Every structure is written in structure tokens, then in C-alpha cells.
Structure 1
Amino acid sequence: MFTVEKERNITWHNTNVTKQHRQLLHGHKSPILWFTGLSGSGKSTIANLLEQNLHKYRKSTYLLDGDNIRHGLNSDLSFNSEDRKENIRRIGEVAKLFVDSGIITLVSFISPYKADRKIVRNLVQDKEFIEIYIKCPLDICEQRDPKGLYKRARKGEIKNFTGISSPYEKPEDPEIILETEKETKETAVDKIIKYLKEHQYI
């Protein structure tokens, strides 16, 4: 009944200012740069440095970080599999809005499930979703353990922890792979910027 009533009462309103108008105003395209990888792999560090560099180039950006989003929009979600899916669904819809606004959107989420990442990819047009796999071995992530989460997960203090008690499904065909065990954050950022220039996003 609720679904039927919603379909009857909600109508999509087209706007005269389009995504193309906004992109023209900003002077660049507006892809989603989706950073995925284990906790401690370097997602947030690289995304943050990349945004700083793009800002220097006078590009319009916004960084959506998984931990930050869980302080507000997704504060009601746990880390079980269903809530993880909802976590990604919500941020996917938010990122889609940013694409429409003409802004380069950096999304730093573990996003462990292939199916969820694919859903987000399918929300936007072809080539508007750039999957960036931050590849780093589990043992290296554990050695870094910047938040002390792996230690707590090993002790059983944190349930459903990706890589320990919950799976991480590696991307099969990401646009960019960054191996943070082998390369610096500066090199990683340079690779992303090179990709964006070569594919005429900026």
C-alpha cells in the first residue's frame, strides 16, 4: 500500500539547469572517484591528498569519508551485512547527487561487497564511476593499524570487522589499482591525476 501511494504522490521534477550546465561552470567533468580497500590500506590518506591537489588546480571537489558519514547520515547503521549494504546504498545516492551538481566526488569507503559497488556504478552514466582499488596485504594493514581496530577485532571486541570476521571482496576490474605497500601516497595521487587528465575528466 505504501509503495502504491508513494508512486501516486511523487513526481520527478526536471530542472532547467542541467548537469552539463554545472560541469561547464566548474570547468570539468564530475565523476565519482570510489576508493575501496581494507581498513588501514590508505584510502582516506590518498583521497585527502588528492583532494588537496585538485583544489590547487582549482577543481571543485567534495570528499565523502566513511567514518565521517557514520557520524551523521549513517549514524543509525551497524556493521552487519545488511547495514553495510544500506551504508553503501545511501552514500551511492548522495554521490549521484554530487555528480549531478558538477562536482568531482571522492568517496572513501571500505565497501567490501562487489555487488554493492556495482549498484553504485549503475546509478550513474558510463565512465562516471571510477573504481580505485587501494591494494594492500592484510598483514601490512594490521601492522599499520592507525586506529587500533585490528587489535580490538582480533580480541573479539569488534564484530563483523572486514578482513578478520567479515569478508572483503576484491574488485575484479577496477579502473585504477594502487599498491600502497610499494608506492608512496604522492606517487599514488600522481597516478590518479594522470588518469583523470588522460581520460579528459579534468
Structure 2
Amino acid sequence: MARTPSNMLPLGTKAPDFRLLDTMSDTKRSLDSCKGLKGTVIMFICNHCPYVKHVNAELVKLAKTYKSKGIECIAISSNDVVNYPLDSPELMRKNGIEEGFIFPYLYDQTQSVARAYNAACTPDFYLFDARLELFYRGQLDGSRPGNDIPVSGEDLKNALNLLLDNQAPPQDQKPSLGCNIKWRKE
């Protein structure tokens, strides 16, 4: 497990469009069909990463809290399932059900969406405003497996609250840290 930080896409970047399989509903979903009225959180996650497992409950809690405020969450897994079969679409669905995901869990088979977002790790978080312009990218909070800091979601929640209050993006945006995305060998 390589500790890999986010690449920190420039603020204001327009969210790259996509159309991917939603493993939760077994339908194709586009960004437009999933986005929120006031904002959209796009999370690159996977099933097997200990950093993701560490925050899954908080992701569900956050999605439930902010859905009624016009924010939608979208999870995407882009890992190579040949070499990492625990991240297969079938197991994504099973994991999503077990974790209580209330958001789409999309499978990026070609890894083109992860590349378009310049995603580097799991988890990797992006918050886009109503115009789908990047408002925040970085960590959920300072908690990591084994560091004894409680999972709170404070960094992402702060950004969400600023967005909903029509404030400027947070000045201090720290990269997320997690397992590297498992890229396919070309």
C-alpha cells in the first residue's frame, strides 16, 4: 500500500463529463444525471483500500446530511480489477450495500475518468459547485488508519458549508492521502 497524496487539480476546473456503470443500480449514469442542485462531491474510492475502509461510515453520514441541502455525492472506482479483483463491479455493489451507500458507486473500467480528474489516490475528493466548477479538492479530514485522530469529515464539511453559504473556497486545502490508484499496465 503506497501512501499517495492527491494531485490537487486547479480550483475552477470544470468537472470532466462521464457516463459509467453504476454498480448499485446496474445502469449507466452520467455526471449530469447524478449532479446536485447546489454542489457535487466526486469521490474516487475502492473496496479494498484501508484508507477508504477507514472513512466509509463518514462518507455515508456526510451524503445523508448534505443531500437535503442540494449536494449529491458520487463514488467512482477506477482500479485495475484484473490485478485487484476485490474491486470488481460485482464486489463494488456488495460493498456498497454492506456500507449503506446512498450514492452511485460507478465503475471506471477504462480508467479514463480517473485520468480526466487527475485522481491519484483512494480516497480522493472533489467538490464542484452548481456550475460544476471545482471549489475544493483534498482530504476528508486529518484522520488516517492508525493515527488516532477521529474521523470527522471536518475539511470537506467546512468546504461544503462555505459553498452553501456562497463564501469563497477554503484557503487551506490539504491533499488527501491514501492508496495509489491501481493503474492497468498498458
TM-score by length of 1: 0.33
Greater strand fraction, Structure 1 or Structure 2: 2
Larger radius of gyration: 1
Greater helix fraction, Structure 1 or Structure 2: 1
